[in-house]
């Protein structure tokens, strides 16, 4: 079951006009909300991020927070799995093809659920490989725009190389991954690039920093240079599906000794405890 413009219906019956601006121009935004035991995690924070994206493209929010909550909860309860990823998308709706905004906007609202898959134990123990690339995306990466072609092309570089992710560099500094946030450990300190227009403000990113503070792990939010990335003791990818995953090879070379590092294992254990005691109790 999915939600489309006020209706709950089977996915195969959901249809939109071919002149929807999301289809024609990629004129819309999206959000992904992890759900544990059918309960959305930090729904208010995700809806604030959605509002930020809508504001960024000058599109009015079509639903109130209570309406979003009702729709998302309905979809989560109707899904087959307990743990899910709720995907929602808002476009500027159907209109004659013209770059300028239509005078009358009829937003298209779509919500669906997919099973939430997290890293298997083998991947956690071995870590993953990543490649680097120049971050050639636009300058509003903080907006979760549905026009993700640059991310798609950058992510495909990793797929072509048999890797899990592409880590992006802009003007000599780390920004994020094509589909994740990135943390670096240097001299025993967890380093996180600061939130800006050049990266997506990840909810899992926030969780990792909260855990670091609560556990007393040394950490800092500041710019991370390419040299610091390449000479890192540890590199982590974070997202709702990757959770916290260690990168053990970068551009074909091992990161440190090529195994997940000691700080990763502490963070992994703390994250799993947080997941059980907080995320599942949301």
Which are the catalytic amino acids?
144
Exposed e or buried b per residue across 214-240, where buried means at least 16 C-beta atoms within 10 angstroms of its C-beta: eeebebeeeebbeebbeebbbbbbbbb
* DSSP string computed for 221-277: ES--BHHHHHT-SEEEEEETTTEEEEEEEETTEESTTSS--HHHHHHHHHHHHHHHH
Q: Which tokens hold the place of 205? A: 């990113």
How many Å separate Cα 254 from the centre of its chain?
Answer: 26
CB 157 within 8 A of CB 131: yes
What does the block give as tokens for 243? 């959770």
């Amino acid at each position: 079951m999915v939600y489309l413009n006020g209706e709950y219906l089977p996915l195969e019956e959901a249809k939109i006009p071919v002149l929807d601006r999301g289809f024609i121009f990629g004129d819309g935004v999206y959000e992904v909300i992890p759900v544990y035991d059918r309960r959305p995690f930090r729904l208010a924070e995700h809806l604030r991020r959605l509002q930020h994206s809508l504001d960024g493209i000058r599109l009015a929010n079509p639903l109130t927070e209570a309406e979003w909550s009702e729709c998302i909860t309905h979809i989560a309860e109707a899904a087959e799995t307990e743990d899910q990823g709720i995907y929602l998308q808002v476009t500027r709706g159907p209109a004659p093809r013209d770059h300028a905004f239509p005078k009358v906007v009829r937003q298209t609202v779509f919500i669906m659920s997919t099973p939430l898959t997290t890293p298997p134990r083998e991947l956690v123990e071995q870590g993953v490989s990543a490649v680097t690339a120049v971050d050639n995306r636009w300058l509003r990466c903080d907006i979760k725009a549905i026009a993700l072609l640059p991310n798609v092309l950058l992510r495909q570089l990793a797929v072509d190389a048999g890797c899990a992710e592409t880590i992006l560099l802009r003007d000599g500094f780390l920004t994020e991954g094509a589909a994740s946030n990135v943390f670096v450990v240097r001299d025993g300190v967890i380093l996180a690039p600061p939130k800006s227009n050049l990266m997506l403000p990840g909810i899992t990113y926030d969780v990792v920093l909260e855990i670091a503070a609560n556990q007393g792990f040394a950490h800092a939010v500041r710019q991370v240079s390419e040299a610091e990335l390449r000479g890192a003791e540890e590199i982590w990818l974070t997202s709702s599906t990757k959770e916290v995953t260690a990168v053990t090879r970068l551009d074909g070379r091992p990161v440190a000794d090529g195994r997940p590092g000691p700080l990763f294992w502490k963070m992994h254990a703390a994250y799993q405890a947080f997941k059980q005691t907080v995320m599942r109790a949301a």
